[in-house]
Amino acid sequence: MPFDTRITRLLGIEHPIVQGGMQSVGVAELAAAVSNAGGLGILTALTQPSPDALRAEIERCRAMTSRPFGVNITVFPTINAPDYTAYARAALDAGVRIFETAGTPAVAEVWAELRARDTLILHKCTAVRHALSAERKGIDVISIDGFECAGHPGEDDIPGLILIPAAADKVKIPMLASGGFGDGRGLVAALALGADGINMGTRFCATVEAPIHPNVKQAYIDNDERGSFLIFRNFKNTARVGRSAVSEEVVRRLAQPGAQFSDVAELVNGRAGKELLDSGDMSKGVFWAGMVQGLIHDIPTCQALIDRIIAEADAILDQRFAGLRRTAVARAA
């Protein structure tokens, strides 16, 4: 049975499940598969080498699905920044109206570009204070990222069990729960904690349609809930990556006194990560991965995964919760 939430109604999707934007992963094949399965697929703008290439990727995705999908624009702290507003304009001109944003305060320039048109903006935050700030600035949906998430969990280290309800107590607009979600239990938990749906990244990496080498997908299965490292804490830019020989070496180097980013740059740069995803050579770089690896045991299609999540959530509500309530009533009698 479909779940009717503020997220499904606002985004025009069947199930309250959103695929987060992921560098080198959020391409048409994955986004379309998620959207066709009833969720919201997301193309990652900066995976494409230029705004024109993004426009072409949007058209490829549109040829694969007639359902809603969005575009992620993440503003990274970098010296040679790409023209983020040019990417935004390319997506707008191609007819995209749903955007996921994240990153530094400079993302406000992207918001201004998007707000000039009729758009919906989902913004990823790792703290309640940031979520409230985004809400005040007119953002439509908050995606609140708990400490369990892959990528950048922020510097507060607040897990989802606390962060989600803390945000739900204060944020008035629809909210997605992100970080550690991968099955029906997580969906029910997110809804119980006050969210209107879930955002999944790592779990969608371990699907048939994800443009990732089978060796990397197998790593998500082989790693358990302990299978990730936090790196870049030295630089106040904490990132969670999957456990591997390379990420272990990154941790070792950064633990040395006076460690600098240059000490690990060749292991963590985007080119190395892209080569790893494409070739499956796990010695080439690091890969993003969250604690949810402990709940990943197979490589389904996106359709099978989303169908399973909804079926599991239905069963929990219809059987487990209903059974607990019946037992409590019987005991009271």
Q: What pTM was computed for the model?
A: 0.95
| pLDDT at position 327 | 65
Q: 78 pLDDT exceeds 90?
A: no
Indicate whether 331 belongs to any domain. Answer: no
Average pLDDT, the chain: 95
Residues 91 and 31 placed together within one structural domain of the fold: yes
The residue segments making up the domain with residue 16 are 6-212+300-323
Q: Per the structure block, which two tokens stand in for 43? A: 């193309």
Alpha carbon distance 122, 219 (integer Å): 30
Q: Are 187 and 309 in contact (CB under 8 A)?
A: yes
Count of domains forming the chain: 2
Residues 155 and 33 placed together within one structural domain of the fold: yes
Give the residue carrying structure tokens 């945000």: 167
**Count of helix runs (H) and strand runs (E) in the chain:** 15, 10
DSSP 45: G
| pLDDT at position 83 | 96
> What's the pLDDT tens digit per position in 171-217?
999 999 999 999 999 999 999 999 999 999 999 999 999 999 999 99
Alpha carbon distance 136, 143 (integer Å): 15
State the distance between the two ends of the chain, measured CA to CA, in whole angstroms: 32
Residues 22 and 85 placed together within one structural domain of the fold: yes
Residues 203 and 78 placed together within one structural domain of the fold: yes
Indicate whether 143 belongs to any domain. Answer: yes
pLDDT category, 271, cuts 50, 70, 90?
Answer: very high
| pLDDT at position 328 | 58
Indicate whether 198 belongs to any domain. Answer: yes
Indicate whether 136 belongs to any domain. Answer: yes
